[in-house]
Amino acid sequence: MRSIRTILLACATTTALILGVSAPATATTGAPTSSTARPAASTPTPAPTVPAATSFKLPLVAKSYNVSSFFGPRCIPTQGGGTVHRGVDMATRGGSPIYAIAAGVVTATVDGTSSREGYIKVRHKIDGVEYESVYMHMWKSTTRVKVGQKVKAGQRISEVGSSGASTGNHLHLEVWRKTSKGMVAEDAATLLAAKGVDLLGAATSIWAKSAPATCKYYTVGGVNFRTGPSTAHDIIKLLPKGTAMVHVPGKVTDGFIPVKVGSRSGWIAISLVTPHKPATPTTTPTPTPTATPAAAATPAAAAKAPTYKTTAPLNLRTGASTSKQRILTIPKGSSVGAIKKKSGDWRKVTYAGKTGWVHSDFLTKR
């Protein structure tokens, strides 16, 4: 759902806004001072040679997934998400096997948590050019591979999960190409199509939609509206929580996005906006003794309320945000009953005796 570079950039921006300091450098341990304790010098183990990629495979079993998000500009799907999607999202059952798209060498493995995306990076040599494929949102990254290991095209490397900023189990696949100016993200579906692998055609269905001309967001709290894309630029004004703004998808600079608030244009940190309008507290009037008894009206009203089921594996969370703790994952096709409460695109439901929040994109009426 989110690219590695977007995650690092967003984290760095948020840290600067909150702390205003840099992270301390990691200390290193010096060599023993005793000559008898110092081991004899040895020749460093050379890094494995990256094999040439001659065949290409799907990262998931064909017809076992739905494409839920395309590569490219998009509206931010949830707080912490990016407006530039550098991968292709494929929603599927949690625990589904993930396969390497081509032969290569594993260069990174990071375990996921409820607030951090787990991922595996594999380096490839395609037509003489260096590439990296990144497989994201798994919980455990070393169940099948380790750093330095060579893998073949179609070799199982992990299992689908829903770690980090995620609304449900899915694989986020990225492809990066090495250039003279650094690594550049490419559309994984386009690359694979050129190699005879139809990532989109192998999906059960396509849920993803093209980005609209503009996206609407809201501030998550009191946020500075600035004249430029950094904290060094002047503050136009402090925007209160829930302030609406308009943004052109895909435009972002150093963790800031250009937006329009009313008729005024400016910049705001991307990590401090959400596509979900904050709920407005409502006060329920206390019925008078002469009013119609609530108990008499409740059963009839409840009988008319529609019930819902999940269209994909879906995370049940403690609050209406992917930053909230995951309670459990609801299987595809499971009934969650009637909607108890709404907050933006989130719905409060009950499953297996647990009440929490799920994203409405993956619910349908029964």
Please give the pLDDT value at position 20. 35
Please give the pLDDT value at position 323. 67
Please give the pLDDT value at position 2. 55
How is residue 16 annotated by DSSP? H
Q: Give the neighbor-by-neighbor strand order of the sheet with 341-343.
A: 326-330, 314-317, 354-359, 346-351, 341-343
Residue 230 to residue 181: CA distance in whole angstroms: 23
Please give the pLDDT value at position 26. 36
Residue 115 to residue 318: CA distance in whole angstroms: 13
Which pair of structure tokens corresponds to residue 129?
A: 């050019």
Nearest one of 218, 232, 234 to 266, comparing CA atoms: 234
Please give the pLDDT value at position 287. 57
Residue 2 to residue 301: CA distance in whole angstroms: 41
Please give the pLDDT value at position 8. 45
Please give the pLDDT value at position 313. 76
Split the chain (366 residues) into runs of 10 and give each run's mean pLDDT: 51 39 36 39 66 96 96 88 92 97 98 92 97 97 97 98 90 97 95 98 94 94 95 95 95 95 96 86 54 47 73 81 78 86 84 86 81
Residue 154: how many CB atoms within 10 A of its CB?
15
In our burial notation (b when 16+ CB lie closer than 10 A, e otherwise), range 10-44 reads: beebbeeeeeeeeeeeeeeeeeeeeeeeeeeeeee
Q: Are 2 and 84 in contact (CB under 8 A)?
A: no
User: Would you give the end-to-end CA distance of the chain in angstroms?
Assistant: 28
Q: Are 323 and 359 in contact (CB under 8 A)?
A: no
Half-sphere exposure of 134 (CA within 13 A, CB side): 26
Residue 4 to residue 135: CA distance in whole angstroms: 10
Residue 55: how many CB atoms within 10 A of its CB?
13
Counting runs of H as helices and runs of E as strands, what totals does the chain give?
A: 3, 28
